[in-house]
Amino acid sequence: MANIYLARVRSDFGASRLVVIKEVLPHLRDDDHFADMLIQEAKLAAQLSHANIITVEDLGRHDGTLYIAMEYLEGIDLRDVLRQCSKRKIRLPLGYSLTVMCEVLRALDYAHRFSGHDGQMKGIVHRDVSPSNVLLSFDGEVKLCDFGIASVMTAEGVDADTIEGKAGYMSPEQARGEAIDTRSDLYSAGILLWELLNGRRLYRSRDGMALIDVAREAKVPALREQGLMHEAKLHALVMRALSTDLDERFATAAEMHAELEDYCVGAKMLVTPMRLGRWLSEHFEDDRIQQRRARQRAVQVLDQGPLLIMDPISEASVSSSDAGRRNEGSPPSSREPSPAKAVGVPLSRRGEENAEIRKGAVPSAIVAAIAALLLLLLLRAMGVF
DSSP letter string, 138-155: TTS-EEE--TTGGGGGGS
Higher pLDDT pick, 179 / 292: 179
Phi and psi (nearest 5°) for 56? -90, 115
Distances (CA, A) of 322 to 18, 19, 336: 31, 29, 17
Asked if the model's pLDDT at residue 157 lies above 50, the reply is no
Distances (CA, A) of 368 to 28, 50, 365, 380: 18, 37, 5, 19
Q: What confidence tier does 322 reach under pLDDT thresholds 50, 70, 90?
A: very low
pLDDT for residue 222: 93
Asked whether the beta carbons of 18 and 6 are under 8 A apart, the reply is yes
For the segment 223-272, what is each residue's pLDDT rounded down to a tens digit? 999 999 999 999 999 999 999 999 999 999 999 999 999 999 999 998 99
Q: Is 253 helix (H, G, I), strand (E, B) or coil?
A: helix
For the segment 55-93, what is each residue's pLDDT rounded down to a tens digit? 998 888 888 788 888 999 988 999 999 999 999 889 899
Asked if the model's pLDDT at residue 120 lies above 50, the reply is yes
Asked whether the beta carbons of 169 and 129 are under 8 A apart, the reply is yes
Would you tell me the crossing angle of helices 231-241 and 182-198 to the nearest 10 degrees? Answer: 140
**DSSP string of 42-97?**
HHHHTT---TTB--EEEEEEETTEEEEEEE---EEEHHHHHHHHHHHT----HHHH
Asked whether the beta carbons of 100 and 277 are under 8 A apart, the reply is no
d(CA 357, CA 367) in angstroms, rounded, equals 7
d(CA 66, CA 35) in angstroms, rounded, equals 8
pLDDT for residue 335: 37
Higher pLDDT pick, 151 / 236: 236
Report which listed range, 36-50, 110-124, 215-229, 343-357, is most confident: 215-229
Catalytic residue among 36, 77, 128, 287: 128
pLDDT for residue 10: 83
Kindly state which CATH superfamily the domain 75-283 is placed in: Transferase(Phosphotransferase) domain 1 (1.10.510.10)
Mean pLDDT of 168-192: 94
Query: What contacts 82, CB < 8 A, 6 or more positions away?
Result: 92, 131, 195
Mean pLDDT of 361-383: 58
| DSSP single-letter state for residue 337 | P
Mean pLDDT of the chain: 79
Q: What residue segments make up the domains of the chain, in order of their start?
A: 2-72+292-381, 75-283
Distances (CA, A) of 196 to 51, 268, 356: 23, 18, 49
- Residues in a beta bridge with 374: none
- Where is average pLDDT lowest: 63-72, 125-134, 210-219? 63-72
CB atoms within 10 A of CB 84: 18
For the chain, what percent of residues have pLDDT higher than 70?
72
For the segment 86-112, what is each residue's pLDDT rounded down to a tens digit? 998 898 999 999 999 999 999 999 999
Higher pLDDT pick, 353 / 127: 127
Asked about 159 being catalytic, the answer comes back as: no
Class of residue 98 by CB neighbours under 10 A (exposed 0-12, middle 13-18, buried 19+): buried
Three-state helix/strand/coil letters over 255-283: HHHHHHHHHHHHCCCCCCHHHHHHHHHHH
Closest residue by Cα to residue 22 from 57, 63, 70, 64: 70
Higher pLDDT pick, 232 / 119: 232
Higher pLDDT pick, 170 / 38: 170
pLDDT for residue 277: 94
| DSSP single-letter state for residue 200 | S
Asked if the model's pLDDT at residue 1 lies above 60, the reply is yes
Residue type, 54: I
d(CA 38, CA 44) in angstroms, rounded, equals 10
Please state the length of the chain. Answer: 385
Asked if the model's pLDDT at residue 345 lies above 70, the reply is no
Question: Order of strands, edge to edge, in the sheet holding 134-137?
Answer: 75-77, 134-137, 142-144
pLDDT for residue 355: 32
For the segment 140-150, what is each residue's pLDDT rounded down to a tens digit? 999 999 886 65
Torsional sign, CA 31, 33, 35, 38 = negative
pLDDT for residue 253: 98
For the chain, what percent of residues have pLDDT higher than 90?
43
- Where is average pLDDT lowest: 11-25, 169-183, 192-206? 11-25
pLDDT for residue 313: 45
Asked whether the beta carbons of 133 and 145 are under 8 A apart, the reply is yes
Higher pLDDT pick, 147 / 305: 147
pLDDT for residue 11: 83
Asked if the model's pLDDT at residue 320 lies above 50, the reply is no
2-72+292-381: which CATH topology? Phosphorylase Kinase; domain 1 (3.30.200)
Same fold, 2-72+292-381 and 75-283: no
Q: What confidence tier does 334 reach under pLDDT thresholds 50, 70, 90?
A: very low
d(CA 3, CA 40) in angstroms, rounded, equals 20
